[in-house]
A and B are shown apart, each in its own frame.
Chain A
Amino acid sequence: MTGKTSLAIETRDLSKRFGDVRANDQISLRVKAGTVHGIVGENGAGKSTLLKMLFGFYAPNSGDILVNGEHVSFVNPADAMARGVGMVHQHFMLVEPFTVLENIILGAEGSHNLDQAKAKARAALVELEEKFGFDLPLDEPVEHLAVGVRQRAEILKALYKGAEILILDEPTAVLTPQECEQLFALVKLLKEQGKTILFVTHKLHEIMAVTDDVTVIRAGKLVARRVTAQTSSAELAELMVGSVVVREVAREKHADDAERLILSGVSCFNSQGQKALKAVSFEVRDGEVLGIAGVAGNGQTELLEVVTGLRQISDGEIRFAGETTNSPSHMQDPIALRRMGMAHVAEDRLKTGVVETMSARENIILGYQREPDFSAHGVLKLKDIADRAEDYFESQDVRPRNPGLNIGSFSGGNQQKIVIAREIARSPQLLVIGQPTRGVDIGAVTKIHDQITELRNAGKALLVVSADLDELLAISDRIAVMCEGEIIGTMPTEEADEKTLGLMMAGQRQSNDSVSAIPTSSNDGASTLPASSQEAS
């Protein structure tokens, strides 16, 4: 403790709750002035919530924020800016048709006469640009600029508004490698000029490259503070993903491992037209849980979509229950897939899995509305649907016990219980689950995990995508790690440890044998596995 004055930002036991979820739990952050401070954590760990409190978007439930040693309580971002805290958001806050100059003075025009304001700003900006080595086309509309240049415009905007402390939220998420290098150089220059930078990312090599200190956040809690020079990406990876929880679920071995789902060389594009999956191959057998690990945004969403008939693949083949269900020329729709015995618990419940504004009763038929027990001759069987909803609520112990309520008014855990009840009701042969326990309270987590294991023990195939490594280690038979649209490796859970997985999630390919085809939980499965890495190359 070298005295509070040397801290640019300090938080003391800062907490923020959303409903039952503790997004930030007593976080005490200490950022030294004039340093680059990294904040690292998985998606959903609570980084964004923390930043939003530092920048005045959210008010904390409890705890204090100190800027340069003084207590502050920001009501809005303008307050934060007045204190010299500037933020560059992951998604830029720029008006695209406006020029760089117009964007920079937006909200700080200082005059009703725009020409005057611009002239004044231009003079100040030229000075700033010289100091920090910027070379921005001030009169070019932002929409004509490359992403990296836009980001520099955002940084210049913050500097122009007097930022002494700059928060960069996932600044490299949208940048090319070359642009990243430029950004790192700029960050170093800013530090030399006395600015304090808070660099938030989930990419470990960036932390190692640019930061002086690093804070690790996990599940809303601050788990470690390190001096970057005295740590390693391996240690950070381990801290970031946490330690293994002992598996308590009883598992039965299966001998009848028919290949239920086979992906061979599957590639696809995302909605922005970028390659999202690159020659992905794996198989899921009856009676096993295949977990897909990876930092969010590395192709897991698209993987779920191509398997469940929501996105057509551009290359390769997906076979389910012996039939080709997705190929560049043909795709089975979700209803056909459900009838073939596939069920899908969507990863983004409110966006995709349910209709928030409809009752739970109406939601339990989504995807199954054309099945004869829910409708006949085009007319809904309301009585049967209501009875079924009662059953689901009973068996899953959903609270409150009122299927007439809009599903949006249930807690996340209860929503998920309803969704899972809907999907397992027809005893599917394959259950595809995205983020089984995201936004779910602790009590429901155990129940959901138990149900997954029960299905596995009943000989069903399960494909589970989760950002929570502990969860995957607890419920999977095998774990495949995805990074940038590729399967980096697959290993039996027994051989997986969080450190190896963490490094694989960060994109480091493992050279040892455990990466390629290793038999599943069964004893004789060695022969027929299409080894993922071989198939891909």
Chain B
Amino acid sequence: MAFTAQKMPWWADGILLPILNLCAAFVVSGLVVLAMGESPIEVLSLLIEGAFGFEEGISYTFYYATNFIFTGLAVSLAFHAGHFNIGGEGQAMIGGLGLTFAVFLVGDFSPVVSVLAAIVGSALFGAAWAYIPAYLQAKRGSHIVITTIMFNFIASALLAYFLVGPLQRPGGQMPESADFPEAASLMGIHELLAGIGINFEEGPMNVSLLIALVCAVGVWFLLWRTRFGYELRVVGQNPEAARFGGISVSKMTIMAMMISGALAGLMGLNELLGDQHRLVGGFTQGYGFVGIAVAFMGRNHPIGIVIASLLFGALYQGGSEIGFEISTITNDVIVMVQGLVILFAGAMPYLFKGMLAKIFALSRRNAVGEGETK
């Protein structure tokens, strides 16, 4: 009885719950804004205005969202195999390194070749970086949470080494590489739209958004339509049953983590190939970590992840605009709001579940009661 009471319609769990979490985060943020003597309503409207109110703002929102789709998918894929990949950040950095090697390797041959090389390079390096913790987990039992966290630091140091060493811009002092060859560039969405006669303001949103969406569809197909995805989910849900079904748990752990790492690695397409056109130290900006919150908020489903990515993209973009309008709302406040959203949606996603379940159980009982009286 108590067991059935926990059951809710899918939309309550998948949609209502994340919205409740989001509201809770905004309420707490609003209280802080209020305490600072500003109007929460004004701040919220500025945030929405900044994220969706004008074309360049929209472009930035989707640009950030692209990063989160990649890293969110990365986290969720590992999660479906029963592993918590905290290393998206490091895998993205090493993916960026691989991308840089790839584009310099193929040079200025052709844009198509450069982009393909960038995709292969970033995915391969990201996957390779995830392979090491995965191998250690599968064959030596080292906990993947710990190793992937530590691998973020190693990745960061490795990236720094290359950017102040072999890859540093000749004669430069900054931790950044030389500019990529001309061919190594992804088309902006505004250019694409211009091509079909739609006028859209220039912005950083680029074709990697489409690549991210393709990846989302791909992850969905992989998980729920292929034998591999089936085996991956069995391993994640019940490793004993996987063994019974002839599935190698260690092999699947390694495969899932490598795909996860490849997805995180692809984030470099957006940041580096779409916008910066060079490898910059610290280009990952914590997007790999936010991917964890995105995956949780999106309930580890690609559709949810795309929506959650958009939300976080809006928070990043809208938040940065508020500072221009209200001087007391500094960047720290925005970071706090983002933090609260991550806290409520990512770290405590089931905060309201018990309450919601009770409401549903109650309403069902009432409905039954009414049915009986009629």
Contact = CB atoms under 8 A, between A and B. Distances in A.
Nearest to A346: B244
Contacts of B238: 351, 354-357
Contacts of B237: 355-358
B230 interface: yes
Interface residues of A, number: 29
Contacts of B226: 375, 378-380
A310 B244 contact: yes
Nearest to B240: A352
B227 interface: yes
A353 interface: yes
Interface string A281-295: 000000000000000
Interface stretch (A119-127, A147-155, A360-368): A360-368
B252 to A, nearest CB: 12
B241 A355 contact: yes
B321 interface: no
A260 interface: no
B225 interface: yes
Contacts of A366: 234, 241, 244-245
A380 B245 contact: no
A366 B238 CA distance: 12
Given A351-B240, A355-B237, A367 B246 contact: yes
B225 A334 contact: no
Contacts of A362: 230
A335 interface: yes
B234 A358 contact: yes
B228 interface: yes
A333 interface: yes
A379 B240 contact: no
Given A356-B238, A358-B234, A380 B225 contact: yes
B233 interface: yes
A369 B230 contact: yes
B244 A380 contact: no
Interface string A468-498: 0000000000000000000000000000000
B223 to A, nearest CB: 11
Contacts, number: 66
B227 A369 contact: yes
Overall SS of chain A's interface: loop
Contacts of B143: none
Contact of B227 (A344, A358, A378): A378
Interface in A263-299: none
Contacts of B233: 355, 358
Nearest to A338: B246
Contacts of B246: 309, 333-336, 338, 367, 370
Interface in B231-252: 231, 233-234, 237-238, 240-241, 243-246
Contact of A352 (B225, B227, B241): B241
Give the 7 A-B residue pairs with the shortest CB-CB distance, closest first.
A335-B246, A334-B246, A375-B227, A367-B245, A366-B245, A355-B238, A352-B240
Nearest to A332: B246
Nearest to A351: B240
A82 interface: no
Contacts of B245: 334-335, 366-367, 369
28 contacts: A334-B244, A334-B245, A334-B246, A335-B246, A336-B246, A351-B238, A352-B244, A353-B244, A355-B233, A355-B237, A355-B238, A355-B241, A357-B238, A358-B234, A358-B237, A365-B230, A367-B244, A367-B246, A369-B231, A370-B227, A370-B246, A374-B227, A378-B226, A378-B227, A379-B225, A379-B226, A379-B227, A380-B227
Interface in B194-241: 225-228, 230-231, 233-234, 237-238, 240-241
A310 B241 contact: no
Contacts of A338: 246
Nearest to B234: A355
B142 to A, nearest CB: 20
Contacts of A379: 225-227
A382 interface: yes
Contacts of A370: 227, 246
A382 B226 CA distance: 10
Contacts of B231: 369
B271 to A, nearest CB: 32
Contacts of A380: 225-227, 230
A507 B243 CA distance: 32
A382 B229 CA distance: 13
B80 to A, nearest CB: 12
A355 B233 CA distance: 10
Contacts of A336: 246
B230 A353 contact: no
A378 B228 contact: yes
A353 B244 CA distance: 7
Given A334-B243, A352-B241, A356-B237, 15 more contacts: A310-B244, A333-B246, A334-B244, A334-B246, A335-B246, A338-B246, A353-B241, A355-B241, A357-B237, A365-B230, A367-B246, A375-B227, A378-B228, A380-B225, A380-B227
Nearest to A382: B225
A344 B243 CA distance: 12
Contacts of B228: 378
Interface in B86-121: none
Contact of A344 (B225, B234, B240, B244): B244
A336 B245 CA distance: 11
A380 B245 CA distance: 16
A117 to B, nearest CB: 35
Contacts of B241: 351-355, 366
A232 B245 CA distance: 46
Interface string B56-76: 000000000000000000000
Contacts of B234: 355, 358, 366
A487 B77 CA distance: 46
Interface string B279-311: 000000000000000000000000000000000
Interface string A53-73: 000000000000000000000
Contacts of B225: 379-380, 382
Nearest to A344: B244
A60 B240 CA distance: 33
Contacts of A354: 238, 241
Nearest to B231: A369
Contacts of B243: 310, 334, 352
A239 B141 CA distance: 47
Contacts of A352: 240-241, 243-244
A21 to B, nearest CB: 15
Nearest to B233: A358
Contacts of A355: 233-234, 237-238, 241
Interface in A331-350: 333-336, 338, 344, 346
A522 to B, nearest CB: 33
A341 to B, nearest CB: 15
A382 B231 CA distance: 15
Nearest to B221: A379
Interface string A7-51: 000000000000000000000000000000000000000000000
A389 to B, nearest CB: 14
A334 B233 CA distance: 18
Interface in A169-207: none
A305 to B, nearest CB: 10
A448 B241 CA distance: 22
Nearest to B228: A378
B88 to A, nearest CB: 25
A435 to B, nearest CB: 15
A17 to B, nearest CB: 12
A325 B267 CA distance: 47
A366 to B, nearest CB: 5
Contacts of A309: 246
A375 B227 CA distance: 7
